[in-house]
Amino acid sequence: MNETIHMILRNRLAVAGGGIVLLLCSVALCAPILAPYDCNAIDVTAILLPPSVHHPCGTDELGRDVFSRMLFGARISLAVGFVAVGIATVLGVLVGALAGYYGRWIDSVLMRWVDTMLCVPDIFLILTVIAFIGEGIVNVMAVIGATSWMGVARLVRAEFLSLKEREFVLAARAAGAGDARIIFLHILPNALGPVFVSAILGVASAVLLESALSFLGLGVQPPDPSWGNILMEGKDNIEIAWWLSVFPGLAILVTVLGYNMLGEGLEDILQPRFKNRRY
């Protein structure tokens, strides 16, 4: 454990990405304390004010403080990312584990299902599903998670194919362990390293998808703030209120960059360990 911590601290990408992620999560958790105004408070005397001491990120077309809305938007955007990736990871691990462990026709059926899902563009599939089940943050979480598990499934399948014939699995099988015990207690813990890295990178993709859906009016619905719908509100006033587009755009950029840096840093650290496992 100490060796892993030292390796992380020596990796600049992991440290920089981890610092950004930690800062974003802290800001999101402390949003009610840090926000100077109620994020939904309308002030008709402060419509489209530029950034100032009183409003660091300006105000929108209803006089709401953009800085406060971005702080609360961080909670929603990150929550969508974490929940959606959690759903995708669970689905991907289950499908990949079954396909990699049992092989044969089970592997063929499940992988053809994965291939079929991958043939459909993500955004088109998500828009289609939301058109049927409706808008809202819960639906967005569920849809993003239910349409983003295929990469995890392939990754877990590859790990299971390489691990299921190892000596520790054969020993467990010879000792009378059942399939469920072998899958979840013996093989899966040894396959979670790359899944963890994939999940971190997946949060960045989920934040981008949520922002895109909210920008299109299909994600988080007003008056609840998210970075995507703040961008949408700024679209109509981009010529006179640049701050409505710049600040949420920068927030999305920094968030995605932070998670990508953390994921790539951890991949650099863990990859050699995957190649030299000891059981």
**Separation of alpha carbons 132 and 258, rounded Å:** 34
Helix ranges (DSSP H) in the chain:
2-10, 12-29, 31-34, 66-102, 104-119, 122-133, 137-146, 150-163, 167-174, 179-181, 188-215, 227-235, 243-275
The CA–CA distances, whole Å, from 113 to 9, 120, 147, 199 equal 40, 12, 12, 21
Tell me how many domains the chain contains.
1
φ, ψ of residue 37 to 5 degrees: the values are -135, 165
Cβ neighbors of 71 (< 8 A, separation 6 or more) are 27, 28, 31, 34, 35, 39
Is 230:246 a contact under the CB 8 Å cutoff? no
**Separation of alpha carbons 95 and 85, rounded Å:** 15
Q: DSSP class of residue 134?
A: -
Is 101:69 a contact under the CB 8 Å cutoff? no
- Report the 3 state secondary structure along 56-68: CCCECCCCCEHHH
* Model confidence, pTM: 0.85
CATH number of the structural domain spanning residue 71: 1.10.3720.10
**Separation of alpha carbons 7 and 1, rounded Å:** 10
Burial 175-208 (b: 16+ CB within 10 A, else e): eeeeeeebbeebbbebbebbbebbbbbbbbbbbb
Is 256:207 a contact under the CB 8 Å cutoff? yes
Write out the residue range of the structural domain in which residue 56 sits: 2-275
Report pLDDT for 278: 38
Q: For the chain of 279 residues, list the mean pLDDT of each consecutive stretch of 10.
A: 68 88 92 91 90 92 92 89 93 93 90 88 80 81 89 91 85 84 88 87 90 85 87 85 92 93 84 47
Is 170:186 a contact under the CB 8 Å cutoff? no
Is 198:151 a contact under the CB 8 Å cutoff? yes
Whose structure tokens read 């790539």? 264
Choose among 60, 38, 64, 57: nearest CA to 48: 60
